[in-house]
Structures are given as structure tokens and as C-alpha cells.
């Protein structure tokens, strides 16, 4: 099962995924994907593989999934297919715009991490990377999830530990439900 983690900026996706990754470090049936991003490694945010725009363009056809958002290129390595074929749960933080493509190619479950608008606004302001106007634009942007895919929603408005526990519970349910591979899509 490919678990597609989505949600608005400020929802705490990276924070929760870091906690869950540590909590499931000894769980061999779960793989957390490290994305390739056209962003310097020391630019903050998630642990990613920094690549240049030229490298991204050259590899574009070699990724399992790739997209561009906010002026950056993002890629998910093609080797996730091996883990999926083995019946593992593969967790990838992606853009909502890629859900349709992913669900056409893989068995997917969407894990939407979100928070109330006031919480999102506070978190985005605390980052100090955007103006109030930019934050307003982000909060006004709504992207509907496609129909026909399974979705679990985690409202991350409490402590990081509580949010991580909800994400971990979702992933462990999916691990228990995943048959051993191979299974095609």
C-alpha cells in the first residue's frame, strides 16, 4: 500500500512524520520515502535529497511520481515499486495534485494531515518565511481530494505526540491489512 501524505502548509506533516518514523524505526514493513527536491539540503523543512533543477529534469521520467510546486521540483524514487510488490506500506509526502496519477498506478491510501485555519495561520506566521498576504493566499487555496480513494484524516491541533499517535495508528492498521506481495495494480 502506498500511503500518500497530504495536507496544507502548516499542518505539521513533517513534524508528525519525523516522530512516526522514529517510532516505527524497527518496523521492517514500513518505508518512509525520502523525496528528491530542487532545494538546498540546509534550507530547512524535511530531510530530503537535494538536487539541482537540471538533475530533476534529467530524472523526470525515472521517478515513480514527480511534480512541481511552489517553484520546486519533487521526485519519488522508482524503487518504491519493489517495496510495494513485497507487500510493504510505503509512506510518501506528496502534493494533492499527484493523487490521481498515483492511484492509477498503485494501491493507495490517502492520509490527510490538517489543522483548523487559525492553527495553520499561527504556524505559518511562526515560520517567518512568508508575508501575511502570502499566508492568506495559502489558507484560501483549497484542493479537493479525488473521489474513489480511501482517506484517513488526522486533525493535528493538539500536541505533536498526540498527532503522531494518530498517524502511527493509521499506518499500523494498514500494515496489518496489507497482504504479503506481490500484488499488481
Indicate the domain borders of the chain: 2-33+86-176
- Provide CATH code, domain 2-33+86-176: 3.40.50.300
The pLDDT of residue 64 = 96
Q: What is the pLDDT of residue 142?
A: 74
Distance from C-alpha of 45 to C-alpha of 155, rounded to nearest angstrom: 20
| pTM, two decimal places | 0.90
Q: What is the dihedral of CA 182, 175, 77, 15, to 10 degrees?
A: 180
- pLDDT, one tens digit for every residue, the chain (185 residues): 999 999 998 999 999 999 999 999 999 999 999 999 998 887 666 789 999 999 999 998 899 999 998 789 999 999 999 999 999 999 999 999 899 999 999 999 999 999 999 999 999 999 887 888 988 888 887 777 888 899 999 999 999 999 999 999 999 999 998 766 554 43
Question: In 18-82, which ranges are E strands?
Answer: 30-32, 36-37, 49-50, 65-69, 72-76
> What was the pLDDT predicted at 184?
40
The answer to whether the beta carbons of residues 24 and 164 sit under 8 Å apart is no
pLDDT at position 3, please? 98
pLDDT at 131: 87
Please report the pLDDT score of residue 185 as a whole number: 39
Closest Cα partner for 33 from 52, 13, 53?
A: 13
Amino acid at each position: 500500500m502506498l500511503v500518500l501524505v497530504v495536507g496544507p502548509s502548516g499542518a505539521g506533516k513533517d513534524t508528525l512524520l519525523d516522530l512516526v518514523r522514529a517510532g516505527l524505526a524497527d518496523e521492517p514493513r514500513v518505508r518512509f520515502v525520502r523525496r528528491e527536491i530542487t532545494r538546498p539540503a540546509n534550507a530547512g523543512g524535511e530531510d530530503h535529497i537535494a538536487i539541482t533543477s537540471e538533475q530533476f529534469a534529467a530524472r523526470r521520467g525515472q521517478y515513480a511520481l514527480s511534480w512541481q510546486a511552489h517553484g520546486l521540483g519533487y521526485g519519488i524514487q522508482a524503487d518504491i515499486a519493489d517495496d510495494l510488490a513485497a507487500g510493504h506500506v510505503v509512506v510518501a509526502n506528496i502534493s494533492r495534485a499527484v493523487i490521481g496519477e498515483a492511484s492509477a498506478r498503485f494501491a493507495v491510501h490517502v492520509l490527510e494531515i490538517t489543522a483548523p485555519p487559525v492553527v495553520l495561520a499561527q504556524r505559518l506566521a511562526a515560520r517567518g518565511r512568508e508575508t501575511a498576504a502570502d499566508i492568506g493566499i495559502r489558507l484560501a487555496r483549497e484542493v479537493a481530494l479525488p473521489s474513489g480513494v480511501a482517506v484517513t484524516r488526522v486533525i493535528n491541533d493538539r500536541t505533536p505526540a498526540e498527532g503522531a499517535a494518530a498517524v502511527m495508528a493509521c499506518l499500523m492498521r494498514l500494515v496489518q491489512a496489507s497482504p504479503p506481495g506481490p500484488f499488481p495494480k
